[in-house]
Amino acid sequence: MQFIGKILGFFIGYKFLGGFFGGMLGLIIGHWADKKLYELGTVSSSIFGKALTRQSIFIQTTFAVLGHISKSKGRVTEDDIQLARGLMNQMKLDAQNQQLAQQAFTLGKDSNFPLRQVIKEFREACGQRRDLLRFFVEVQIQAALQDGTIDINEQKILFTIAESLGMSRFQFEQMLAMIAAAQRFRSGQYQYEQYSSQQDGNYQGRQSGYQQSYNKGPTLEDAYSVLGVNANSDQTTVKRAYRKLMNEHHPDKLVAKGLPPEMMEVAKEKAQQIQAAYDLICKAKGWK
């Protein structure tokens, strides 16, 4: 119900501040009120408790699902635990939130963990904001890909999450491909820049050298996958895809919609991967 303030604001402004323009002013004020009420409001979870902030339920759901995915492979390994700790460190969680994250991770490992119920409550807590929900799925896929592969059980859980958050199989598969490609930009992008800047001649020569020297790094095909386009996409299509993804992953906008400030660094890293992919395509195509 994040529109009541807008409706009331418009009618109050229309009646008491002078017609249409007064109504528009009231609409703006009502929008601000809706936003503040959303930010200050609390939500409940059958798993994590009542009167939680949206940021808190985001953090706890994230780590509970990480625990559930880790357990799906049969047992939770030391690598899984280190991955969770690494994410806590990246988020710079304070002692209290670290404890909540650890408890949530343990809850997720339970064989009776009610995944669909948890995701349903999470979706409601996020106000069904598409950007937030998409970001959540991306975090889970990125974590599952840390060891380089996603086994069948992990994929089933990830698709259950995506489906519960309103994504189709096609959208899920596309996201999976995009994130797998984006992972290669985490370590390889700077190497590509460093190497190609030392080369003379046309791009084809630089690309060939890059593939031979850094065959585990990002490729032009990866860059297309990150943006969800292909080699035949024209400049307008690529730029539109790039701008759309950058808008969806803008850290400040995500935080305003309910993303915990602690996850800003995760969002920034994703935005950097998108930027790196776009830059690589522009360089290959000779676009300014």
Least-confidence region, from 190-199, 230-239, 265-274: 190-199
Share of the chain above pLDDT 90, in %: 30
Task: Give the separation between CA 4 and CA 33, rounded to whole angstroms.
Answer: 9
Distance between first and last Cα of the chain? 44
Q: Which residues of 83-103 are buried (b: 16+ CB within 10 A; e: fewer)?
A: bbeebbeebebeeebbebbbe
Classify residue 92 as left (phi > 0), alpha (psi -120 to 50) or beta: left
pLDDT tens per residue across span 55-82: 888 899 999 999 999 999 888 889 899 9
CB count in 10 Å sphere of residue 61: 25
Residues in the chain: 288
CATH among 1.10.3680, 3.30.160, 2.60.40, 2.120.10 for 36-177: 1.10.3680
Give the pLDDT mean for 260-281: 86
Question: Average model confidence (pLDDT) for the chain?
Answer: 78
At 91 the pLDDT is 85
Task: Give the separation between CA 281 and CA 288, rounded to whole angstroms.
Answer: 11
Give the pLDDT mean for 11-39: 61
Give the pLDDT mean for 147-164: 89
At 273 the pLDDT is 87
